[in-house]
Structure 1
Amino acid sequence: MPPDAPRILLPHAPVLVTGARGAVALEPDGEFRRLSLAQAARYARNESPMVCHGPAVAARLGLDDFIRLDVLELFAFVRPARFCLPTPRGLAEIMGLPRPADLEDEAEALMTASRRLLEELARNTAADTAARAVDTRGLAWMMARAGWGWGSPVLAALGVQGDSGRGGGAARVWERLPEWNEFAPEPPGGSLPVDPAEARARLASMLGSGAEQRPAQADYASAVSFAFLPREREDEPRLVLAEAGTGTGKTLGYIAPASVWAEKNAAPVWISTHTRNLQRQLDGELDRLFPLPHDKARKVVIRKGRENYVCLLNFEEQLTRNRNQDAPALGLMARWVLATRDGDMVGGDFPGWLVDLLGRARTMGLADRRGECVFSACFHYRKCFIERAVRRARRADIVVANHALVMVQAALGGLDDGIMPTRTIFDEGHHVFDAADAAFSAHLTGLEAAELRRWLLGPEGDAATRSRARGLHRRAEDLVGHSEDCVQALDNALAAARALPGPGWLMRLGEGAAHGPSETFLALVRQQVYARSADSSSPFSLETDTQPPVPGLPEAAADLAQALGRLAIPLQTLMKSLAGLLDDEATELDSATRSRIEGICRSIERRALAPLAGWKGMLDALGGTSDDRFVDWLSVERIDGRDMDVGMHRHWIDPTIPFAKAVVEPSHGVVITSATLRDGSGDVDADWRAAERRTGAAHLAAAPLRAAVASPFDYPAQTRVLIVTDVRKDDMDQVAAAYRELFLASGGGGLGLFTAISRLRAVHKRINAPLEDAGLPLLAQHVDNMDTSTLVDIFRAEEESCLLGTDAVRDGVDVPGRSLRLIVFDRVPWPRPDILHKARRAQFGGKAHDDMITRLRLKQAFGRLVRRASDHGVFVLLDPMMPSRLFGAFPEGVTPVKVGLAEAVRLTSEFLAPPTG
């Protein structure tokens, strides 16, 4: 039946927008109502209004939730895989509307944006192919039938009446996705060198003939080319430590020699980053190298772990169990799956605010969960996004990955297909130490052990009817039937897995009713933590040393170690038996089955045997077998005073030892680069030695090439550093007043950094309303119900806004221009004095180690201020106890000045005043 003519029907619902002090409702008849926040909360519960980003509105109104029509959901349906700032101003901008000046304007903008989105949907669907138009109508019908608030207006815009939009299988998106192609294995890459002249020539080509000359950038590219010379001995890679001051253009500087080497040697170069922002920046910069989209799609691949990509089997299983309330989320996810470039849900083309709107279970919950992939047994294997990315990466020139993926996969013997890159560039190299610390640590906790049990057994109890999880038996059942040894080993492993914590383990620990060896061990760990902690009533997490153990803990550790051994032995047998099939039935197994067997064997090794071995070593240490390379401790993880996890932790005191051994040594060439590699102690050689220690270079046989190019920025002229001496940092009223006055003096563009979430929240509560009165929107991590990257995007786009955040904001923000012109730090960011830091402090130089970490943190924060030659900024520290030995965190010629708050406000206002005339 052909569709009827489209009709644009806006919902008969008011629009509600909120501010710090009050709200505005725009009634369907066009009348505005001014409301207090208390009135707005009642209004929201009673009227089911139209809003922009419902979770953020609910948080501002002090509500857990309320029924609403979210304009962002309409945007996600009409423009899938497209991003907009999730604010009324952001919607207005992307829809080409005038910028709202007040709450009334924002309300009108939401109403107009909704109308334009419905009109756009009608036009686009009319111009679509018949099959795509049927899919759009079918998804809209499915969502409307389930009660989606936008259902009726969307169906009207699509010309659907009654059941005319009912289409069989509109949400079966996998049927519309293309299959990836398999290619013959790539031959090993060559070893032809890249000389400095080639690197400089490629850089000049990317910049173009009219580009501004940057001698430092060319010098940097020349130095980095050393990593692309052939190595002369096994386990002695060509390593370059390159510090490039902000504004040097290091991204293009290392892309130049990397791209030349990839072309000459027919092998990829991997570029590893730490933050999503840099991955996005890299993606943009590579347009200079590959200006044609088709060439770039073939030559550049973004690679992440499986947990970042949507799993089509998970999507199908959620669709099969489709409950009425899930249908709108499924429809929006289906629209995205059909439009996405690569299926990446973390930093790709998936709007982060959709997680806020739909919930993690209905969005990120569709990703692969820690090794549950069934590989070629999956009906969607030939269309799988991650399998497509793996194959594209083998043939690419440039693969952009992240530190966590590169380190974990290297430690486990290769990437998904066992292939290791020979050339790797670690950008944001100042994060290598912390990334290695995370990658090479071990955690024997209730949550980790229970997760392993779930991975082996599948969901149990009530969860069995709700979860999409697949146990090992289901993942391997049709393979183990080839061998009696496999069947017996699998049965034995699943029986032994019941020694791990079962459903409800945490509640049993609290009730003193631990069951089995793992829960008995965890109960004694919890007892020791509570007994030894200085303040067990604290709402924060607790930790204590492992020695001396409370009575019974060593014996419980020994019992658990034996139980883990009884689990590991049949898993080893199963893995070897499955691997044996590759030889025994080599002539009968098709390539898909071989690939699946190899994948399951890798999963067993990485997901089960590796952690079991690490846990056994930790348990042995409790019995007296210590290893001075590691530091162990016990903890109770708490959130708002409630126990969330219990267990034992092990970290390398120096995690760059395994990083150097597993990641750097096997490589042929490695670049570790950052704007902040070196310490600022004032001793140049000592600062380089600190960089070598923090990057693992100190553990290699051959010395690295050291390279440093200075920033082209005139920091003494472009920045000021002020240390406020008359604000008591333990008096939150004084601290909040300082933030308020400094943000007002800068006219917005202020980034407030905090060493504790509680301090951030206390300041936000005090300054939110007065800043809004002055026309300065205040954003806050841990307060607004938005993910951090979305908050940073809003802050970047809105020049008058201010943002409060912690470490994740300090390290991940890249905001050029006047949108970031002031940074205020609440106090000196000393390292947290926990057990892990205590051990490292003792090994790495005591107080000098504290100073180094603190200088690097200050250096990183200061580096956010000036990103372009025209930028100006002020850095303020609200801590009179800032010692002068930390002044090396700031560039040469930038001298911190100690002043009172009033003087700091005056200097900030004068220095950041916009130019006149």
Structure 2
Amino acid sequence: MTDIPDVAALLDHTVTALGGTRRDGQVEMATAVAAAIDDEKHLAVQAGTGTGKSLAYLVPSIRHAVESNDTVVVSTATIALQRQLTERDLPRLSTALTTPLGREPQFAILKGRANYLCLNKVHSDVADEPESELFDAFELSRTGREVTRLREWTSDTETGDRDDLPQGVSDRSWRQVSVTSRECLGANACPYSEDCFAEIARRKAAASDVIVTNHAMLAIDAMSPATILPEHKVVVIDEAHELVDRITSVTTEEISAANVSQVARRLGKLVSDETADALVGAGEQLGELLEDAQNGEWIRLPGGAGEILASLRDRLWNARSEIGPAKPGTDPEAAAARQMAMSSADSLHDTVVRVLAMFDERDITKRFDVVWKSVDDFRNNTRHTLRIAPLSVAGLLRTSLFTDSTVVLTSATLTVGGNFDALARTWGLQPHGDDPEGAGWRGLDAGSPFDYGRSAILYVADRLPPPGRDGIAPATLDQMAEMMTAAGGRTLGLFSSMRAAKEATEKLRDRVDFPILCQGDDATSTLITKFADDEETCLFGTLSLWQGVDVPGPSLRLVMIDRIPFPRPDDPLLSARQRDVDARGGNGFLTVSANHAALLLAQGAGRLLRSTSDRGVVAVLDPRLATARYGGYLMAGLPPFWKTRDPNAVVAALARLASS
């Protein structure tokens, strides 16, 4: 179609139809996205809160899809943004653009198969056996009630999508009525394929102009030999600052005695007693090994580990081979049980092989994975687990995502140290350096409608003691109480650990005259609602609050950050990545730890201004931001707030805001 208006005209039409006003940053971003699609050149866009970035990438994406009859994939990190796009932005956009585009644009949401009810599993008795060592009688009873409710919901739901369930259920309960892609019988073998919720979602997606999915699905699509997402040439990645972490999570595998026990239970009568007993024995050996092994990264295999893992690998392979092909006429229930057993055996076998293969490479600088042992607590039960994750996902992204598609990456926080290069490296893109044109991608900071210098103060407490391991210093608690009192409550406290958040909550509740909510007291969404609804209420918490709070208006006037959010020094994966950069002649601390802290610090500071009328203070109570050599690097990623190190000026400003 050649008579479709250009992107600028479509954006003007849309903004007018939706009752909005023109925003220069939004126009600049939309124009850049359109150019990237036309030129087939990747684009990274930092678009601050209030820019209207969703419209800025959706309008050119929809125009391209309608004009070229090509599907555009939009990937997000969070369910909240998925819902915003599919329940608010895209329906309104579709209506607004129908006339100028000549037809109504179509959109769909597509998730991994495990997010949908499996009708074959619901209508059969195939279910995971309970892990008796982890679940007490009360827990099993609750699971039974939830599964009953899920079975009843099957007849009411049109989507079978877990996120559409009116009241949530535990992961364990959901696994009783869902399957992974490896456990699925396949459309040709399943008696419910025509009504399958996952297949219906895929068929709808294949006929859509825009598909909304998530970063995990992008990773699965990139790694899978099968086609999961419909053919596409353009991908928009929103919340792109989380892309690497989400891809890493999908590509991380684990091995534990409980894993082996579950595989053995699923194999059941499909293998001989001798084969099942051998596998159980291998699992017991693994459990003893992991209990005795030290926590943290494994640079080399502990004594006896190679033999135990090799034995487990071989016994899993023997069990898998013994199952054999399905006989003609096998009933669906038996076929489903067989598929689940084979899938679990295959998955665990492949993970063991991956671990052993990594240690076959003696040179640690040539390894592509990181292996570590951790201890997890489940309801006072301890599980010792071996995990393996990729040292980097840059290669995966470079060879799959960026080779096959034109990619637009956007977020409110993408620049670190004043440019996009730090994140570009983690995505597998060549840093701009001295040759932006030769890098194959463009970076754009679309700005923000906020007047940061007039709207907010950045206070760096250079006179406080540096944070240590002995809890929050008395002087820091004094300053917290003074600022909170001046603000009249209205405080979001962002802490580096749950222990620090709870300590501050307990000690400050006796010193201030307004409620302090702490993450963990209730569901996080409920706490955020209470915080937003009562202007005097304060909310303290950790990681999810650094990125998950959107409270415009007078309920939030002060964001307190207890310390620079560096990753834990005992984080095995980030420590290995830092060591790898050092070994290659780079600065591992700056590349890994400082970049991690800079992005999170910018996300935390971004909680303050959520509308153009918001005012307040971001207080960083860690003097290292002012005194350490890396402080300027971290500050370069923050919005251009008015800056001060004077606590009296901050208290006076907060008091003026409170009185107004």
Structure 1 match to 2:208: 396
Cα deviation code 1:695-716 (max 9, x no counterpart): 2223999611322222221111
SS at match of 1:705: strand
Q: Is 1:306 equivalent to 2:122 in the alignment? A: no
1:271-350, aligned counterparts within 5 Å?
Answer: 271-283=74-86, 284-291=88-95, 299-312=106-119, 340=157, 342-346=159-163, 348=164, 350=166
* Residues 325, 622 of structure 1: alpha-carbon distance in 2 compared, 3 angstrom cutoff: closer
Does the 8 A contact of 1:224 with 1:257 survive in 2?
Answer: yes
In 1, the alpha carbon distance for the partners of 2:442 and 2:337 equals 41
Q: 2: distance between equivalents of 1:617 and 1:334? A: 37
Aligned 8 A contact 2:29 2:56 in 1: yes
Q: Which residue of structure 1 lines up, in the alignment, with residue 397 of structure 2?
A: 659
Whole-Å Cα distance in 2 between the matches of residues 297 and 801 of structure 1? 45
Q: Return the match for 1:556 from 298, 302, 308.
A: 308
Is it true that 1:696 corresponds to 2:428 in the alignment?
yes
What residue in structure 1 maps to residue 624 of structure 2? 881
In 1, Cα distance between equivalents of 2:448 and 2:314: 57
2:588 aligned residue: 846
The yes-or-no answer on 1:913 pairing with 2:635 is no
Residue by residue over 1:118-144, the C-alpha shift from the partner in whole angstroms, topping out at 9 and shown as x without a partner, is xxxxxxxxxxxxxxxxxxxxxxxxxxx
1:872 aligns with 2:615: yes
* Matched residue, 1:779: 517
Contact kept in structure 2, 1:654 and 1:840, CA below 8 Å:
yes
The residue type paired with residue 427 of structure 1 is D
1:218 CA displacement:
1.4
2:549 paired residue number: 813
Rounded Cα–Cα distance in structure 1 between residues aligned with 2:156 and 2:96: 20
1:736 and 1:613, CA in 2 relative to 1: closer, same or farther beyond 3 A? same
CA contact (8 A) 1:543 1:635 kept: yes
- Choose which of 246, 249, 253 in structure 2 pairs with 1:442: 253
In structure 2, the CA distance between the partners of 1:750 and 1:525, relative to structure 1 (3 Å rule), is: same
Distance 1:611 1:704 in 2: 39
Please give the per-residue CA displacement for 1:501-543, whole angstroms capped at 9, x wherever unaligned: x5xxxxxxxxxxxxx23432342233231xxxxxxxxxxxx32
- Answer yes or no: is the 8 Å Cα contact 1:314–1:367 preserved in 2: yes
TM-score, scaled relative to structure 2? 0.81
Whether the aligned pair in 2 keeps the contact of 1:827 and 1:877 (CA below 8 Å) is yes
Q: 1:706 aligns with which of 414, 418, 443?
A: 443
Residue in structure 1 matched with residue 8 of structure 2 by the alignment: 200
Q: Quick check: 1:858 aligned with 2:601? A: yes
Range with greater deviation from structure 2 (623-632 or 399-408): 623-632
Of 506, 510, 525, the match for 1:765: 506
Contiguous gaps of at least 5 residues in structure 1? 1-191, 232-237, 459-472, 474-489, 503-515, 530-541, 582-588
The one-letter amino acid of 1:290's match is S
1:545 aligns with 2:354: no
Whether contact under 8 Å (1:245, 1:675) holds in the other structure is: yes
CA contact (8 A) 2:147 2:173 kept: yes
1:898 alignment counterpart: 645
Distance 1:200-1:270 versus aligned 2 partners, 3 A rule: same
Q: Deviations over 1:832-880 (max 9, x none)?
A: 1133222211333223222222111111111222122112231112222
Query: Take 2:105 and 2:27, find their aligned partners in 1: how far apart are those partners?
Result: 27
Query: Deviations along 1:136-192, whole A, 9 cap, x unmatched?
Result: xxxxxxxxxxxxxxxxxxxxxxxxxxxxxxxxxxxxxxxxxxxxxxxxxxxxxxxx9
Query: 2:497 is matched by which residue type in structure 1?
Result: A
- Shift of residue 447 of structure 1? 3.9
Relative distance call for 1:879 and 1:227 in structure 2 (3 A) is: same
- Structure (1 or 2) with the larger CA radius of gyration: 1
1:524 to 283, 289, 307: 289
Indicate conservation of the 8 Å contact 1:240/1:704, yes or no. yes
Asked whether the equivalents of residues 722 and 877 of structure 1 are also in contact (C-alpha less than 8 Å), the reply is yes
Question: Is the 1:410–1:420 contact (alpha carbons within 8 Å) kept by the matching residues of 2?
Answer: no
Q: Supply the distance in 2 between the matched residues of 1:552 and 1:523 (Cα, whole angstroms).
A: 11
Asked if 1 retains the 8 angstrom alpha-carbon contact of 2:456 and 2:642, the reply is no
Map of 1:258 onto structure 2: 61
Aligned to 1:50: none
Task: Report if the CA contact (8 A) 1:226-1:240 is conserved.
Answer: no
Contact 2:15 2:22 (8 Å CA) reproduced: no
Find the residue that maps to 1:221 and give its secondary structure.
helix
Q: Which residue of 2 aligns with 1:671?
A: 408
Looking at structure 2, the residues matched to 242 and 642 of structure 1 have their Cα atoms a distance apart, in angstroms, of: 45
Give the letter for the 2:457 counterpart. Answer: R
Measured after TM superposition, the shift of residue 300 of structure 1 is 2.3
Counterpart AA for 2:383:
D
Question: Residue type of the partner of 1:255?
Answer: L
Higher relative contact order (CA 8 A, sep 6+): 2
SS in 2 for 1:632: strand
Structure 1, residues 655-695: CA drift from partner, whole Å, max 9, x if none?
A: 22112223332x33211111211212x5xxxx332131022
Letter in 2 for 1:426: I
Cα distance in 2 for residues equivalent to 1:570 and 1:267: 45
- Counterpart of 2:293 in structure 1: which amino acid? Q
Per-residue deviation, 1:333:
5.3
**For the aligned residues, what is the CA RMSD?**
4.2
Q: Contact 2:66–2:105 (CA<8 Å) still a contact in 1?
A: no
Once residues 613 and 759 of structure 1 are traced to their aligned partners in structure 2, the CA distance between those partners, rounded to angstroms, is 40
Q: 1:731 to 1:613 in 2, by over 3 A?
A: closer
Matches within 5 A, 1:363-402: 366-368=177-179, 371-374=182-185, 381-402=193-214
SS at match of 1:876: strand
Q: Distance in 1 between matches of 2:397 and 2:549?
A: 26
The residue that corresponds to 1:270 in the other structure is 73
Contact 1:443 1:647 in 2 (8 A): yes
Which residue number corresponds to residue 633 of structure 1? Answer: 371
Q: CA shift at 1:428, angstroms?
A: 0.6
Gaps (5+ residues) in structure 2?
Answer: 128-139, 433-437, 582-586
Which amino acid counterpart does residue 602 of structure 2 have in structure 1?
Answer: K
The answer on whether the counterparts of 1:750 and 1:822 sit within 8 Å (CA) in structure 2 is: yes
SS at match of 2:501: helix
Contact kept, 8 Å, 2:370 with 2:391, in 1: the verdict is: no
In 1, Cα distance between the equivalents of 2:315 and 2:30? Answer: 54
Question: In the TM superposition, what are the counterparts of 1:406-417 in structure 2 within 5 Å?
Answer: 406-416=218-228
Change (3 A) 1:373 1:414: closer
Return the alpha-carbon distance in structure 1 between the equivalents of residues 215 and 274 of structure 2: 36
Compared CA separation, residues 298 and 716, structure 1 to 2 (3 A) = closer
| DSSP-derived class of the 2:401 partner | helix
Cα separation, 1, equivalents of 2:606 and 2:224: 35
Amino acid at match of 1:350: P
Match runs of 1:719-758 below 5 Å: 719-724=456-461, 725-726=463-464, 729=467, 730-732=470-472, 734=474, 735=476, 738-758=479-499
Amino-acid identity (%): 27
- Measured after TM superposition, the shift of residue 244 of structure 1 is 1.9
| One-letter amino acid matched to 2:61 | A
Residue pair 1:194, 1:260 contacting (<8 A) in 2 also: no
| CA contact 2:597–2:634 (8 Å) conserved in 1 | no
CA deviation vs aligned residue, 1:528-583 (integer Å, no higher than 9, x gap): 31xxxxxxxxxxxx324342x44322322333333344356568x74xx99xx9xx
Rate the CA distance shift 1:720–1:802 in 2: closer, same or farther, 3 A.
Answer: same
Paired amino acid for 1:817: G
From the superposition, tell whether residues 343 and 818 of structure 1 become closer, same or farther in structure 2 (CA, over 3 Å). farther
Deviation at residue 646 of structure 1 after TM alignment: 2.3
Amino acid at match of 1:842: R
DSSP 3-state at the match of 1:851: helix
